[in-house]
Amino acid sequence: MEAMNTTTLTTDRPLRLLLTPRESAAALGLCEKTLWSLTDPRGPIRCVRIGRAVRYAPADLSEWVESAKSAGPPSGSKKKLVKMGSRLFPSWKHML
């Protein structure tokens, strides 16, 4: 009887505990400037500072995504919605 060939999922790369800003922004689908504006102390995403280097823990990024899901739109949102029929549309009058 033939032995079954089993493949294990292992990598030779070490476990990454922290991500660079570029990697973090790509993981979130944001540009680096947007990530920077959301980074503590300007925003809610925590980071780790090592000298001049800024790094992000994947757990902190996941925590921010979960809190953003439940929080809804920011309270300081300037967009106003106008009801037309049964649908809501953004009002751009305040921007003119």
What's the pLDDT tens digit per position in 4-51?
555 555 556 677 899 999 999 999 999 999 999 999 988 899 999 999
Which pTM does this prediction carry? 0.59
Contact in structure between 69 and 60 (CB atoms under 8 Å): no
φ/ψ of residue 21, rounded to 5 = -60, -40
Across residues 61-69, what is the average pLDDT?
90
Residue 54 β-bridge partners: 49
H-assigned helices in 1-96: 21-28, 32-38, 58-71
The per-residue pLDDT for 69 is 84
